[in-house]
Amino acid sequence: MSDAADETPTPIDVPNDASLMEKIVNLSKRRGFVFPSAEIYGGFRSTYDYGPIGVQLLRNVKDAWWRAMVQMRDDVVGLDAAILSPPAIWEASGHLKNFTDPLVDCRNCHERFRQDQLEDPSTCPNCGAKDSFTEARQFNLMFKTHAGPVESDAAVAYLRPETAQGMFVNFANVLQSSRKKPPFGIAQIGKSFRNEITPGNFVFRTREFEQMELEFFVPPDEADRWYEYWVDARYQWYVDLGIPTEKLRIRPHDADELSHYSSGTSDVEFLFPWGWGELEGIANRGDYDLTQHATHSGEKLDYFDQANGTRYTPHVIEPAAGATRTMMAFLLAAYDEEEVRGETRTVLRLHPRLAPYKVAVLPLSKKDTLTPRAREVLAMLQPHVMCDYDETQAIGRRYRRQDELGTPYCVTVDFDSLEDDAVTVRERDSMAQDRVKVDELLGYLLPKLA
């Protein structure tokens, strides 16, 4: 019934380089994953909007994280803290003083650079001028604003540069209300803002992005063990969702890279087209955060262990990931091309849990006779999974579109369906087709999509 029956694909080697980046950026625009923000006004400074397909993919990345980190555990609870926050939080956390990058200006072309990212600190990479840089000044990356109508110092507020502090300042609230005791964690997903000097590489580094962070509070003598545990668990999460192990590595920080409070940090890195880049950092933060907030706020932020009558400040293991950056890694890892009957088939081999649409319902043709049956099939599937419905164009082109969106299954309703009450189910990766009775369709599809 379709053009797929005798297709034998020949793999195409897609190089992991700038051409792949270009393909992802083009696909993102064409199919509705990611659009440049404010595009009709010429775009806005490395900000991006997630389109109809991208919003689903991003949501699925976040849901997969929440499922693994909160739903599947009884030692982690969730939180959604405010983005607007008072200076006191950032004073205590050290961000007001330390969350800075060294900034230099070229006196010749007036471009700005991060001094620590210059390949040659005496030559301007923009205009080539020699020794043209100003003295470095420390530039704080936090976005500052004012809460309320008066722009006075007393009204200063910050957009959070990380979600983490929300967990620390709510430590006592969560401890009391959830009846958890260490080891236990607080998880949060949400937007963070950093006034990055050099945003770039598409959504890899942006000024507005989403984080997925866990603060896991443990008795001090268990910190090393839990640190190892979370490094392994977080690496495995990416593998389970389809990132090939040859594109994933754990990089322990050297001693001189560690923040002053951290006794160990490892990054989970992905092999991006421009080289290895961080997806997530797992840090052993000691008691730094709770101690800082206890000192600055005057509140007790510790734990009384009734079992042995001791009071202690828990240590914190923090796996901190970027949702938007991770979404991009999943896109890059899933992108594939193969030749089918002399034509290039682009397919996103996304894990079904991440796929924006799980099923596309496609009536073979836009005929009055087929549409009602196809819509019945759609209505049957919609309460269970995210579906697309498409009755435009030839069936082959519609399959190709779903391949580019990463849709694991296409369900085609044809004229035989009206007689035999069955549909053709086409699988994305193999293009193999199965004839399935409509009343067995849910039982057929759902286990494959879990």
Which residues face 345 on adjacent strands? 338
Pairing status of strand 409-413 against strand 359-363? parallel
Residues contacting 21, CB < 8 A, separation 6+: 201, 202, 273, 274
Residue 16 CB, shortest distance to ligand GAP, in Å, is: 19
Question: Which CB, 285 or 373, lies closer to ligand GAP?
Answer: 285
Task: List C-alpha distances in Å: 72 to 68, 177, 334, 447.
Answer: 5, 20, 25, 18
Nearer of residues 123 and 195 to ligand GAP, judged by Cβ: 195
Q: In the complex, what is the shortest distance from the CB of residue 320 to ligand GAP, in angstroms, rounded to a whole number?
A: 4
Residue 333, interface with ligand GAP (CB under 6 A)?
Answer: no
In sequence order, the 6+-apart residues with CB closer than 8 A to the CB of 50 are 33, 34, 35, 57, 58
Rule CB under 6 A: choose which of 33, 48, 209, 237 binds ligand GAP.
209
- d(CA 59, CA 324) in angstroms, rounded, equals 10
In angstroms, the Cα distances linking 154 to 96, 147, 149, 165 are 16, 9, 11, 21
Shortest Å distance, C-beta 218 to ligand GAP: 17
Min CB(259)–ligand GAP separation in Å: 9
Q: Give, in order, the Cα–Cα distances in Å from 144 to each of 45, 84, 140.
A: 18, 10, 10
Interface with ligand GAP includes 279 (CB under 6 A)?
yes
Q: Which stretch binds ligand GAP (CB under 6 A): 16-24, 118-126, 209-217, 241-249?
A: 209-217
DSSP 245: G
Residue nearest to ligand GAP (CB): 322
> Is residue 211 involved in binding ligand GAP (CB under 6 A)?
yes
Nearer to ligand GAP, 85 or 324 (CB): 324
Is residue 194 involved in binding ligand GAP (CB under 6 A)? yes
Q: With binding defined as CB under 6 A, does residue 356 bind ligand GAP?
A: no
CA pair distance 160, 169, nearest whole angstrom: 13
Query: For ligand GAP, which is the closer residue by CB, 279 or 355?
Result: 279
DSSP, collapsed to helix, strand or coil, labels residue 25 as helix
Whose structure tokens read 């694909």? Answer: 9
**CB nearer ligand GAP, residue 280 or residue 390:** 280
CB of 8 to ligand GAP, least distance (A): 40
Does 197 sit near ligand GAP (CB under 6 A)? Answer: no
Q: Binding ligand GAP by CB under 6 A: which of 280, 289, 404, 414?
A: 280
Of 187, 210, 163, nearest to 73 (Cα)?
A: 187
Q: For residues 111 and 278, which CB has a smaller minimum distance to ligand GAP in the complex?
A: 278
The total number of residues written for the chain in this structure: 450
CB of 21 to ligand GAP, least distance (A): 16
CA-closest candidate to residue 235, choices 209, 450, 258, 227: 227
Q: Does 269 bind ligand GAP (CB under 6 A)?
A: no
Site string (313-332) toward ligand GAP, x via CB under 6 A: -----x-xxx-xx-------
H-state helical runs in 283-370: 288-297, 323-334
CB of 415 to ligand GAP, least distance (A): 50
Paired tokens of 180: 């958890």
Instruction: Using CB under 6 A, list all residues that contact ligand GAP.
Output: 162, 164, 194, 196, 205-206, 209, 211, 213, 278-281, 318, 320-322, 324-325
